[in-house]
Structure 1
């Protein structure tokens, strides 16, 4: 359990309260520092998976904890951004992204229960969605929305791009599981 990939995943979870505290500090440098902490966590997301495969240190604990860490860090960042930008424009992507994570997590859990976990394995669309989401959130965290409007708009456009990939990846997962979802128990 205590191998390097799992330690990195635990570190990513430990970074969440730190970037939340930094986000609320009353100093201008809080924006790039918050983004830097989020980016560090995003890099460890890629690195822990790479190291687990490369060092052959994949564990059930790591397989469980890695997606939990992803969902916690993205959800925390989206909630912070929504609180700092209370508008329909931020509420929609936050709800879509967090809602998709709940739906796909439940779907994967249910498919695993019926022995069909492999049919809802992580897809390339899901990986692209995650990458774009991390970039968009990093941009939105990095710049002060009051003084850096252009970057704020760029971040928002990237976030909506992530929403499109989010919906697409959810469609891919639901399509893969559809036959199992609509099966009738009665014969």
Structure 2
């Protein structure tokens, strides 16, 4: 197991830690759990950079890296929605996109061609926007600003999903 894959496994371990801290009775639990979320984001950037820079890209990492990201994002959505920091419609839109991405990736990976849809700039921008919006909520920035940031994130998520869907269709069309 190489360093990027270890960092991906660390991200999987940060998911239950996020939940424990988020629902703990300690002061500033939302802020601390958001810092865990930020740490997960840092490990994501690091593992991608190391994997590409040092030619450590593995099939295992290509599949599990985005899965760790999606599961962390869904975890944050569920926790923030359950605590009324996010409206239900946000988790519905982003959650549906993330679940479709997970099942689409599984479908393509287990097809005869073992294909993976690579990440694209739209998905990266949407993810970065999600981190900013969650951090703004955690520090209780401003309700209007938080709403605008979440709105931007949802729009970017929809754009990213459309682009992934187009890529998925192209891959399926090429494999026939």
Which TM class, normalised by the smaller chain length? 0.7 to 0.9
2:7 paired with 1:16: no
Aligned to 2:155: 164
Q: With a CA cutoff of 8 Å and minimum separation of 6, indicate the structure with the bigger relative contact order.
A: 1
After TM superposition, the score normalised by the length of structure 1 is 0.80
Alignment of 1:138-177 (within 5 A): 138-140=135-137, 142-143=138-139, 148=140, 150-177=141-168
Greater C-alpha Rg: 1
What is the distance in 2 between the residues matched to 1:59 and 1:179? 23
What is the distance in 2 between the residues matched to 1:71 and 1:78? 10
Which string of whole-angstrom CA distances, capped at 9 and with x for unpartnered residues, describes residues 71-103 of structure 1?
1111111100010007xx611111111111122
What is the distance in 2 between the residues matched to 1:63 and 1:9? 10
> C-alpha displacement at 1:4, in angstroms?
1.1
Contact 1:139 1:152 in 2 (8 A): no
Aligned to 2:88: 91
Structure 1 segments, 4+ long, off by >6 Å, are 179-182
Q: RMSD between aligned alpha carbons?
A: 2.5
Structure 1, unmatched stretches of 5+, are none
2:97 paired with 1:100: yes
Aligned residues: 173
What is the distance in 2 between the residues matched to 1:163 and 1:78? 12
What is the distance in 2 between the residues matched to 1:104 and 1:128? 16
Aligned to 1:130: 127
Structure 2, unmatched stretches of 5+, are none
Bigger shift: residues 121-130 or 109-118: 109-118
Q: 1:12 to 1:153 in 2, by over 3 A?
A: farther
